[in-house]
Chain A
Amino acid sequence: MPLGWLRFGEWGGSAREEVSVAPHDPGPAVEGAAPGVAALFDRSREEGQHAILDLGPAAPGSFEVYRRFARRVRFVDLCPPGECEEALGRAWDSALRFLPGASDEPYDHIFGWDILDRMAPCGHRPLIDRLSGLSRPGARLHLIVRASSEAPRRPLRFTLTSTDRMTYEPVGEPLPERGPILPAEVERLIDPFVVDRAFTLKGGLREYVAILR
């Protein structure tokens, strides 16, 4: 698996200094830089005809950003509070029912947010397989992963405030006790997507941008 993105020093880039601190004790929404989002949109033409799939709930702020690039946007709300236990347990296929069908036109960008942490490990492979089937070649997948015990233990609801900033707030019940997902594990989990850029955010979160090869 190529790990070139590690060698380019993205982990220690300027983005690290920009991001805000995630509180240890979950509180109100936190706003910070989103260098991964900026990287994702970097090569996307505004007023374009892109299609964006967001696995989170519909967020007006995110929609305002998406509409600058996309004509077609879909909010799946794959794992809403109250229903999240479906995905956290073995019934991951139940959560995947919210994904669009294969007949939908393929997507250019997918915002998965913290879905890997929300879903039980047994659901990761089916999820990625479905996402790759819904994506165009070269499509970009954006993920945020808890990378240390510093990270908030609850699911996070993310909202873009611009193409390079976002807010997030804890929602729902605490996640099951599981270790952080390390970079090599992320590489393995998201195949055939390949990590292109990654950024360490304060508060124990890591932001990944991957491309479908």
Chain B
Amino acid sequence: MWKRDGTQDETPRTPREPERSERPAEHAHTPVERATIGRSIRIRGEVSGDEDLLIQGEVDGTVSLGEHAVTVGSEGEVKADITGRLITVEGRVEGDLTALEQIILRGSARVDGDLKAPRVVLEDGARFRGGVDMGEVARPAARPERADVPPAKAPPAIGSAPNGKSKEAEPAKPSSGSKDRSGDKAGARAAGAAPA
């Protein structure tokens, strides 16, 4: 399930316990926390948040982490547009990647989609088909404070692991600005949205 790197707590968390970094200003000097989507997890819908993310499982939908780093690990398989500050791919991605600072495709990466970032690095061995736009990327509009977001009354399940555990959708966030690549994806995002 979701877990944080650098912690000793390996206790499985309940599916309804959101893993979210609470980083008030006074904690600005603490190490950046990173959530992990484990290799047995499959998510369909929108993934967003306020901490770095490592994806070792499967994600089908959108991944929007604004000012944070997204890593698609060597076992990660993502069919989604990804936005973040720094995006590193070691696994498979089918979708467009947009980074505020940098995109790195490691040697094991398999990417089919367009890349947009001021700096893009392709390492030897990376397989990539798509366009690279090295222009500046506009920073996303500030997200509303979490307290301002109306809670979802009954967030629908958007994916389940082989062991039967499920992940839940997060409340709706402002649009990431990523384009739809297929009707399936649009449907997945709609399924993950919280009721108005």
List residues of chain A with CB under 8 Å of any chain B CB.
57-60, 63, 67, 70-77, 98, 100, 104
Contacts and interface: CB of A to CB of B under 8 A. Distances in A.
Contacts, number: 43
A58 B126 contact: yes
Nearest to A100: B131
Interface residues of B, number: 14
B133 interface: yes
A63 B131 contact: no
B186 to A, nearest CB: 20
Nearest to A66: B132
B129 A76 contact: yes
A72 B124 contact: no
A67 B122 CA distance: 12
Contact of B133 (A59, A63, A72, A76): A72
B126 A74 contact: no
B184 interface: no
Contacts of B128: 57-58, 75
Contacts of B124: 60
Contacts of A104: 131
B20 to A, nearest CB: 36
Contact of A71 (B122, B127, B130, B135): B135
Nearest to A63: B122
Contacts of A77: 129
Contacts of A57: 127-129
